[in-house]
């Protein structure tokens, strides 16, 4: 795969999609690019020079002189595929300090943590796939719901990420940052992979590309089934497919991308810890054995990119059709002692949208400025947005049923100016406008709202040497609230009057960072950051969704390192990485002693070693993930246990082109580790009517082996 790229004066420009939220604007060169090219580029500010297309190897890329913060980067396919993973969303764990877990059936969106946020299923971290938004506003299960299960890992070409709010292209759900997956346009060779393992795992993935007419057609698919270690088998049945046609015409490049995904499963939700301690259920058992879900997603998108002499234009359009039905029971017999508390959340959604951007060189004040002007717009048409009381997946009552029409559009401008060889600035401004139209089954909860918000951003970059760069950045961001909460007047369960929430919630962030290249092949970044949010979104156990809460403030530090030795201009097969993140999260304006934010991770360590020779037959990897204890309740009297996991794999490539790989998940068989822990009130059969406050956990799966056999033809 290659991308159009050009050097605009002293600044390198990459023709990335307009909606890339984490675009580091880095060249496609790797450690193989030497300083001679960089120095000659800086001396020549009069012309546009196309850069040759070369492959991104991974985190080895040197971003000094091109990145605008210490908290942005790019991870290539080589590093992404070298990671032993349990679920597709774990590809995001290449973002420093980000943790991906699950609290329910594996068919749902994952649980995400980063920078002191329990993001629930994605709120406050914006995620895109080739320009298409993944976060879903006004979602049945949680604001900003981000389901990445439709991805086929073998087709991810690279991942761009950006933490913080300093980039103008970062809009809704971007307070903690954002990331974008870029999928392959062609494959060097067709591939087929068969995977099997413990707990009923079966997976088949295959794909290939060929020349058709003036362009390349890529087709791939995946089948997956899995039961898990649970007393009640999950019976995951997943089907994913992709077709992409790409072609070029002169200086323009085009792409059409179609994706399809369908999944259904039986859920194993978090359970009350007392039920395990009392022996009522096993650690991998369930209290309500009828939970489950089904989902589907279909999308069609198109992209046009044009490379001019001193500018790049990008236009993207997309349409997404999705549906979800969930059956969950988190409190058992607290609200309904007779029928139980199982509920269903459902929706059918159509999303249509477009992104456009123009990046060009402008000469002013004696220096060159790279100016980006862009627009992003989307409309969510949501029908059957319902919350129902159910028994064994049978509806016995309707809590609420809504139809929502929500639109959001943002325009932004950003100017990056290189005033001297060692001093750059980035100034940006973003303006977003939203409309909310809710038609509820209760007239008093229907209504319309509009809202707009402006988000200025700025960065100052100092480059004292070719080996180090210092960044000071800050800006404003936001997240939207559930449209139903913006017009609500009456609680549909109790009938009590309730206050409306603000449609758009302001965030304010700042960061000081350092990027350094020291010993040959070692890349290090450190960032000190702070973020204030006008209203926190928290998970509520009885509703299974997120609700607005008090204002919050966060601060922390992230130290990320990547080392791949380089000798005589050649890369070694060994790669080492270690990322450490500390965060402090507190509520603002609340009673003393009630300031801790439940679920806010305070310590994260991720480290790994990869052996991946280009020509050698044997390869392997080890990955360590640790997240420390964190508060489960506002007064900090109950805290989650720390969790440490070690995963590994080893494989060999045969002369026939066949690749054999053995993966061991939870290598140390840590059976006390939990994917997620909550603290709330629930009631088991026979307990007092008011229920019992308790920790509720979803355990990490025990050690298991997975074996895959693949071939590139």
What pLDDT does residue 567 have? 55
Q: Which residues pair with 661 in a beta bridge?
A: 651, 708
Report the chain's mean pLDDT, rounded to a whole number. 88
Around 688, how many Cα atoms within 13 Å sit in the side-chain half-sphere?
Answer: 5
Banded pLDDT at 61 (limits 50, 70, 90): low
What pLDDT does residue 15 have? 34
What pLDDT does residue 37 have? 33
Report, as an integer, the average pLDDT of 7-36: 32
Are the C-beta atoms of 554 and 584 separated by less than 8 Å?
yes
Report the C-alpha gap between 178 and 144 in whole angstroms: 12
Report, as an integer, the average pLDDT of 443-454: 96
Report, as an integer, the average pLDDT of 603-621: 90
Banded pLDDT at 290 (limits 50, 70, 90): very high
User: Tokens standing for 201?
Assistant: 């795992």
The pLDDT tens digits of the residues spanning 366-381 come to 899 999 999 999 999 9
**C-alpha pair distances (Å), 161 with each of 95, 117, 468:** 7, 17, 20
DSSP result, 635-698 = TSSSBPPPEEEEEEEEEEE-TTSEEEEEEEESTT--TT-EEEEEEEEEB-TTS-TT-EEEEEEE
What pLDDT does residue 548 have? 79
Share of the chain above pLDDT 70, in %: 89
What pLDDT does residue 546 have? 57
Tell me which of 103-112, 282-291, 301-310, 509-518 is least confident.
103-112
DSSP result, 173-214 = T-SSEEEEEEE-S--SS-EEEEEEETTTEEEEEEEEEEEETT
Rg (CA), the chain: 25
Predicted structure pTM score? 0.90
Q: Which residues pair with 626 in a beta bridge?
A: 605, 644
Answer whether residue 416 shows pLDDT above 70: yes
Q: Which of 203, 247, 237 is nearest to 221 (CA)?
A: 203
What sign does the CA torsion over 304, 205, 294, 141 have?
negative
Q: Which of 143, 131, 163, 24 is nearest to 376 (CA)?
A: 131
User: Tokens standing for 424?
Assistant: 């750059």
Q: Which residues pair with 556 in a beta bridge?
A: 529, 583
Residue with the bigger pLDDT between 110 and 17: it is: 110
User: Tokens standing for 655?
Assistant: 């002369």
Token pair 């940006």 in the structure block, residue: 428
Q: What angle do CA 588, 592, 595 make, to 5 degrees?
A: 45
Report the C-alpha gap between 230 and 291 in whole angstroms: 13
Report the C-alpha gap between 617 and 611 in whole angstroms: 11
Are the C-beta atoms of 68 and 167 separated by less than 8 Å?
yes
Report the C-alpha gap between 576 and 574 in whole angstroms: 7
The pLDDT tens digits of the residues spanning 649-695 come to 999 998 888 999 999 999 999 989 999 999 999 999 999 999 999 99
Strands (DSSP E) along 251-393, which ranges?
252-266, 271-272, 292-307, 311-328, 343-364, 367-391
What pLDDT does residue 45 have? 36
The pLDDT tens digits of the residues spanning 424-434 come to 999 999 999 99
At residue 36, φ and ψ (nearest 5 deg) are -60, -45
Banded pLDDT at 569 (limits 50, 70, 90): low
Number of Cβ within a 10 Å radius of residue 201: 19
Answer whether residue 574 shows pLDDT above 80: yes
Report, as an integer, the average pLDDT of 200-204: 96
The pLDDT tens digits of the residues spanning 63-97 come to 888 899 999 999 988 888 888 888 999 999 999 99
**Count of residues for the chain?**
713
Report, as an integer, the average pLDDT of 476-482: 95
The pLDDT tens digits of the residues spanning 385-414 come to 999 999 999 999 999 999 999 999 999 999
Tell me which of 123-137, 220-234, 269-283, 542-556 is least confident.
542-556
Answer whether residue 32 shows pLDDT above 60: no
Are the C-beta atoms of 218 and 186 separated by less than 8 Å?
yes
Banded pLDDT at 51 (limits 50, 70, 90): very low
């Amino acid at each position: 795969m290659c991308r159009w790229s050009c050097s605009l004066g002293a600044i390198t420009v990459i023709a990335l999609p307009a909606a890339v939220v984490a675009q580091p604007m880095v060249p496609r060169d790797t450690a193989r690019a030497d300083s001679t090219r960089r120095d000659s580029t800086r001396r020549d500010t009069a012309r546009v020079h196309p850069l040759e297309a070369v492959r991104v190897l991974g985190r080895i890329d040197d971003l000094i002189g091109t990145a605008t913060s210490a908290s942005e980067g790019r991870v290539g396919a080589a590093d992404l595929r070298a990671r032993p993973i349990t679920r597709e969303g774990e590809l995001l764990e290449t973002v420093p300090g980000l943790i991906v877990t699950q609290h329910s059936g594996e068919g749902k969106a994952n649980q995400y943590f980063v920078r002191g946020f329990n993001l629930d299923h994605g709120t406050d971290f914006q995620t895109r796939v080739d320009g298409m938004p993944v976060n879903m506003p006004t979602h049945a299960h949680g604001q900003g719901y981000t389901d990445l299960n439709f991805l086929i890992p073998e087709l991810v070409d690279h991942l761009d990420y950006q933490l913080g709010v300093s980039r103008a292209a970062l809009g809704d759900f971007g307070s903690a940052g954002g990331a974008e997956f870029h999928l392959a346009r062609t494959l060097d060779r067709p591939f087929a992979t068969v995977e099997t393992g413990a707990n009923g795992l079966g997976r088949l993935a295959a794909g290939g590309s060929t020349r058709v007419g003036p362009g390349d057609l890529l087709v791939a698919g995946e089948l997956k089934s899995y039961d898990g270690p649970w007393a009640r088998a999950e019976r995951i049945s997943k089907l994913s497919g992709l077709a992409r046609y790409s072609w070029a015409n002169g200086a323009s490049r085009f792409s059409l991308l179609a994706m399809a995904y369908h999944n259904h499963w039986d859920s194993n939700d978090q359970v009350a810890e007392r039920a395990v301690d009392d022996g009522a259920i096993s650690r991998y058992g369930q209290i309500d054995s009828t939970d489950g879900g089904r989902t589907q997603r279909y999308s069609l998108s198109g992209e046009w990119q044009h490379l001019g002499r001193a500018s790049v234009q990008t236009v993207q359009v997309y349409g997404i059709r999705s549906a979800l039905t969930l059956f969950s029971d988190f409190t058992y017999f607290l609200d309904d002692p007779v029928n139980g508390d199982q509920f269903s959340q459902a929706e059918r959604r159509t999303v249509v949208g477009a992104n456009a951007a123009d990046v060009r060189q402008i000469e002013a004040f004696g220096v060159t400025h790279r100016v980006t002007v862009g627009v992003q717009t989307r409309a969510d048409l949501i029908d059957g947005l319902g919350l129902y009381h159910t028994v064994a997946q049978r509806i016995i009552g309707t809590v609420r049923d809504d139809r929502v029409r929500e639109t959001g559009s943002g325009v932004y401008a950003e100017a990056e100016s290189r005033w001297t060889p060692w001093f750059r600035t980035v100034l940006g401004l973003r303006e977003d406008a939203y409309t909310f139209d809710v038609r509820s089954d209760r007239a008093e909860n229907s209504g319309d709202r509009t809202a707009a918000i402006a988000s200025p951003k700025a960065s100052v970059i100092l480059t004292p040497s070719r080996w180090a760069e210092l960044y000071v950045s800050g800006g404003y961001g936001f997240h939207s609230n559930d449209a139903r909460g913006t017009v609500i007047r009456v609680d549909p369960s109790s009938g009590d009057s309730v206050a409306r929430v603000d449609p758009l919630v302001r965030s304010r962030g700042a960061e000081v960072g350092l990027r350094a290249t020291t010993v040959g092949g070692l890349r290090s970044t450190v960032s000190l950051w702070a973020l204030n949010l006008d209203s926190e979104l928290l998970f509520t156990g009885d509703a299974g969704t997120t609700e607005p809460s008090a204002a919050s403030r966060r601060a922390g530090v992230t130290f990320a390192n990547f080392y791949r030795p380089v000798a005589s201009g050649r890369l070694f097969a060994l790669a080492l990485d270690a990322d450490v993140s500390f965060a402090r999260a507190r509520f603002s304006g609340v009673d003393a002693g009630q300031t801790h934010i439940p679920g806010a991770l305070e310590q994260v360590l991720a480290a790994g070693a990869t052996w991946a020779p280009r020509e050698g037959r044997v390869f392997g990897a080890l990955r360590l993930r640790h997240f420390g204890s964190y508060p489960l309740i506002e007064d900090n009297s109950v805290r989650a246990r720390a969790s440490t996991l070690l995963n590994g794999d080893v494989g060999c490539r045969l002369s026939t082109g066949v690749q054999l790989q053995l993966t061991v998940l939870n290598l140390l068989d840590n059976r006390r580790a939990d994917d997620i822990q909550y603290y709330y009130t629930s009631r088991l059969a026979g307990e007092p009517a008011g229920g019992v406050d308790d920790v509720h956990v979803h355990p990490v799966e025990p050690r298991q082996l997975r074996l895959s056999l693949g071939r590139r033809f």
